[in-house]
Structure 1
Amino acid sequence: MSQDLAAAPGDPTTQSGSLKRGALGLSGAVIMSAALMGPAVSVYFNPQLVAAQAGAATPFVFALSMVASLIVANGIMQMARELPSAGAFYTYVARGIGARTAFVTGGLMFVAYALLVPAELALIGSYTHDLLAQHGVQIPWVIISLVAGALMTLLAVRGISGSIRVALVMFSCEVAVILVISVIVLAKGGAHGLTAAPFNPSESPKGLSGIALGMVYGVLSFVGFEAAATLGEETRDPKRNVPRGLVYSLLLVGAIYVFCTYAETIGFGTDSTGIGKLAADAAPFTTLGQTYAPWMNLLISLAGISSIFAVTVNSNNGIVRILFAMGREGMLPRRFGTVHPRLGTPAFAVLAQSGFALVVTVIVGFWVGPFNAYAYLGAVLTFGIIPVYWLTNIACMRFFRKYRPDQFNVLRHVVLPVLGILLMVIPIYGSVWPVPAAPYNWFPYAVLAYAIVMALIATVLGRRRPEFLARAGGVLAGVESDAEAAGMDEVSDTVAVPGSRADAADPADPAAAPEPA
């Protein structure tokens, strides 16, 4: 198998072309996004980070983050209907703004998705190590992380359908466990009885800045809702099922977050003592289980491991498809854009991404500790994904105004995109003022510096090799009729080369190729 996957692009074991068509339906798209958000991971490990900033208003932060994500999702859904592609945001920005901006978007997407994988691998190593240590079993966290990485790679190589089936089982089990323990906590009245105080923003001891900084981890909890957009080439009827998958997964997981974080806050208590214990607890849901339902301890532990692994698998699938699209269009070495002829998976991209993830996991995990690796990488990737949301909504406004005037709608293509952008400014604001403690104070600037470097590279490429950037977003999903329905020239599924049919744009339709902006 490894020899097949390592074969050169010209070998018979690899081919350029499309991913496996029609592998998933609507339910697969929903599970892809929902499992990537990782409900158990988020309610196990993010509320304490939010509580440290927003106090008892933690459920309010999650509710606000859900609303912001739903509004942001509007722009993504609009573009997904018109441009179903494995490149997702990369393709949307290429068509709506231009190739240079798309190049930067691809770089930011790499930060967001690629860092989520090592963050989760470090977390599963840390969490599982601690659980085993409680029972006298000592296995180094790094060994656990490496084994999880190997299983992740195997699932990705074998195909998206297998990954989704595994994710569905894990998602169902983890959701059942966290809902049961939440119901038990609330049925017992929590620490001091039920109250609506957690939905009052004034409960934040740091005021608006606490809400804003807490939203960094609120938004982090929803990162992945857009994952279904990367399945545009593998989902049946993608123009219908991908947008629906996005919104259904957001509503489902958002409701779980709000309910479970409310139970978590009530379980510890809304007073300063209870919130202090919540913020200081590395595994608060485990503590809730020991306090309110000791018989569920094992189930809670297994649900946590299951959820972390499901997030790892699905986030890996997402970044692999971004790499595949960029390689197929020549923005990365073309081997990234090849698929295994028998499995129909982007095998080289899978191996390259897995290698990167494991190296980052080991280096950062030993440098700052595995749990800090999760917290730090999680903050950085959030700052990476938020500008991508901004750019996609800008692309949505510009694309429909210029290239789809007959479909243009002020609410869907102006009001909601602008509101989504403004809402996503809140966590950025909270991360720069008041200045947070190190190292969080320099994370936003590190991502900004990275984006500037990517922009400079794109500018140089645009001047020296404009045909290189002109291919950005040029390969769309679907058969010829899909391309025609989108008002575009026929787009080949093969890697575009100068002078080929796939490289040529229809001069009658400016949307058929991205601008070199």
Structure 2
Amino acid sequence: MTTDSQPSRPPEPAALRRDVGLFGAMMMGLGSIVGTGVFVSIGIAAGITGPSVVFAILVAGLVATFNGLSSAQLAAVHPVSGGTYEYGYRWLTPSMGFTAGWMFLCAKSASAATAALGFAGYALHLFQVDREDWIVPLAVCAVVATTLLLLGGIRRSNWTNIAIVSTTLIALASFVVAGFPVAWREGSANMTPLFASDVPSTATRQFLEACALMFVAYTGYGRIATLGEEVHNPRRTIPRAIIVTLLVSSLLYAIVGGVAVAAAGTDILSGTTNRTTAPLQIVANQLKSPLIAKLVAVGAVTAMLGVLLNLILGLSRVVFAMGRRGDLPSKLSAVSTRSATPYVAVLAVGIG
């Protein structure tokens, strides 16, 4: 007696795993935003518009929130990896999606390199190592270490990011607490005149320029949307995470910027800097507290590391999405069965 054997089905391809909740997604957004914006851009913007930089921060945050609401709606409707690339491909045309994907890869690859160099410079300054020739090798080591971390899976990356961002937030909170008494005492002098120029047309132009600069500092919320296939209940989690991230970062930027300007004045905050000293760190040095200055220096290092981690994470997901659609080699869409991470895409980004 014989029995008909059923044809064996090919194994299902490995898929990304949903291991990130609302808090983790929000912290990834903060890890992408709280970097050069708070440690560097506020100082540059203060030099442009004067004490009114605090209002420029709030205006930029409001504009970024409106933009973020659009991204949140798109992510809720189409919660897949790839972010802007996928939205352009699906809702506009494939060629628009292709263009958006390549523009993202080019722009954020440069940003990742800048974050790695910033991390290296701040780390050497923190440990008082006066060797500029070590900056590039240390930056490369940071990229390699971050790539290896991401190969371990989104859960491990998520918890590492939470630890990094928490350290940065503690450093900034310490700066605010230490700087508030000085800001209260010196604020009336340092916050006037409100604008850098007393000519209305020039003051308006400078204020809008500062708003534009600070708007760029909020753009990291887009990293949340690239994780569409790795968060729990993405239709609810991604929009909430984007909105909460923008609100928290706006409030954080405004408080830190207000305390920095009121405590030290825009002349010190906007002083000439290099790759190893952030403007906020210069203000911390003015507080005459070695501990706070050291904490801010640590915060600058962890902030750059968090930005680097989230940029490589976002880049790898866009590369993964483009490989899946055939706009890049299909092997880039391979997913590890053990860690559920697009390991080929992560390696490609890390090497590139």
TM class, shorter-chain normalised? 0.7 to 0.9
Q: Judging changes above 3 Å, is the alpha-carbon distance between structure 1 residues 135 and 334 closer, same or farther for their aligned structure 2 residues?
A: closer
What is the aligned partner in structure 1 of residue 269 from structure 2? 278
Residues 34-89 of structure 1: CA deviation (Å, up to 9, x unaligned) = 111125x4221111221232222222221111001100111111111110010111
Tell me which of the two structures has the higher relative contact order, counting C-alpha pairs closer than 8 angstroms and 6 or more residues apart. 2
2:124/2:130 contact within 8 Å kept: no
Q: Alignment partner for residue 263 of structure 2, among 264, 267, 280?
A: 267
Identity of aligned residues (%): 23
What is the aligned partner in structure 2 of residue 76 from structure 1? 71
1:197/1:203 contact within 8 Å kept: no
Q: Judging changes above 3 Å, is the alpha-carbon distance between structure 1 residues 311 and 29 closer, same or farther for their aligned structure 2 residues?
A: same
- Residue 123, structure 1, aligned to residue 118, structure 2: yes
Q: Alignment partner for residue 83 of structure 2, among 76, 88, 95?
A: 88
What is the aligned partner in structure 2 of residue 316 from structure 1? 312
Please show how residues 336-355 of structure 1 align to structure 2 within 5 Å: 336-355=332-351
Structure 2 unaligned residues grouped into runs of 5+: 1-11
What is the aligned partner in structure 1 of residue 168 from structure 2? 174
What is the aligned partner in structure 2 of residue 238 from structure 1? 234
Residues 271-297 of structure 1: CA deviation (Å, up to 9, x unaligned) = xxxx23322242222222222122223
Count of equivalent residues = 334
Please show how residues 92-103 of structure 1 align to structure 2 within 5 Å: 92-103=87-98
Q: Judging changes above 3 Å, is the alpha-carbon distance between structure 1 residues 136 and 317 closer, same or farther for their aligned structure 2 residues?
A: closer
Counterpart Cα distance in 2 of 1:53 and 1:302 = 27
Q: Judging changes above 3 Å, is the alpha-carbon distance between structure 1 residues 138 and 106 closer, same or farther for their aligned structure 2 residues?
A: closer
Q: Judging changes above 3 Å, is the alpha-carbon distance between structure 1 residues 33 and 83 closer, same or farther for their aligned structure 2 residues?
A: same
Structure 1 unaligned residues grouped into runs of 5+: 1-14, 270-274, 357-517
What is the aligned partner in structure 2 of residue 301 from structure 1? 297
Counterpart Cα distance in 2 of 1:335 and 1:204 = 56
CA shift for structure 1 position 109: 1.6
What letter corresponds to residue 224 of structure 2 in structure 1?
A: A
What letter corresponds to residue 38 of structure 1 in structure 2?
A: V
Q: Alignment partner for residue 114 of structure 1, among 104, 109, 127?
A: 109
CA shift for structure 1 position 332: 0.6
Counterpart Cα distance in 1 of 2:315 and 2:270 = 31
Counterpart Cα distance in 2 of 1:107 and 1:124 = 26
Please show how residues 198-237 of structure 1 align to structure 2 within 5 Å: 202-203=195-196, 206-237=202-233
CA shift for structure 1 position 227: 1.2
Counterpart Cα distance in 2 of 1:228 and 1:329 = 21
Q: Alignment partner for residue 53 of structure 1, among 38, 42, 48?
A: 48
Partner SS state of residue 280, structure 1: coil
Q: Judging changes above 3 Å, is the alpha-carbon distance between structure 1 residues 175 and 112 closer, same or farther for their aligned structure 2 residues?
A: same
Counterpart Cα distance in 2 of 1:130 and 1:140 = 11
TM-score by length of 2: 0.88
1:191/1:268 contact within 8 Å kept: no
Counterpart Cα distance in 1 of 2:325 and 2:16 = 14
CA shift for structure 1 position 162: 1.1
Counterpart Cα distance in 2 of 1:159 and 1:49 = 37
What letter corresponds to residue 122 of structure 2 in structure 1?
A: Y
Q: Alignment partner for residue 150 of structure 1, among 137, 141, 144?
A: 144
1:59/1:199 contact within 8 Å kept: no
What is the aligned partner in structure 1 of residue 19 from structure 2? 23
2:21/2:232 contact within 8 Å kept: yes
Q: Alignment partner for residue 322 of structure 2, among 306, 326, 334?
A: 326
CA shift for structure 1 position 114: 2.1
Counterpart Cα distance in 2 of 1:98 and 1:73 = 22
Counterpart Cα distance in 1 of 2:189 and 2:243 = 29
Q: Judging changes above 3 Å, is the alpha-carbon distance between structure 1 residues 297 and 278 closer, same or farther for their aligned structure 2 residues?
A: closer
CA shift for structure 1 position 122: 1.2
What is the aligned partner in structure 2 of residue 504 from structure 1? none
What is the aligned partner in structure 2 of residue 480 from structure 1? none
2:45/2:53 contact within 8 Å kept: yes
What is the aligned partner in structure 2 of residue 161 from structure 1? 155
1:57/1:204 contact within 8 Å kept: no
TM-score by length of 1: 0.61
Counterpart Cα distance in 2 of 1:135 and 1:116 = 25
What is the aligned partner in structure 2 of residue 66 from structure 1? 61
Counterpart Cα distance in 2 of 1:207 and 1:28 = 40
What letter corresponds to residue 288 of structure 1 in structure 2?
A: V
Deviates more, 1:218-227 or 1:303-312: 218-227
CA shift for structure 1 position 144: 1.5
CA shift for structure 1 position 258: 0.6
2:72/2:239 contact within 8 Å kept: yes
Counterpart Cα distance in 2 of 1:235 and 1:199 = 47
What letter corresponds to residue 232 of structure 1 in structure 2?
A: G
Please show how residues 22-41 of structure 1 align to structure 2 within 5 Å: 22-39=18-35, 41=36
Counterpart Cα distance in 2 of 1:198 and 1:149 = 43
Partner SS state of residue 81, structure 2: coil
Counterpart Cα distance in 1 of 2:102 and 2:345 = 15
Residues 249-271 of structure 1: CA deviation (Å, up to 9, x unaligned) = 111111100100111111222xx
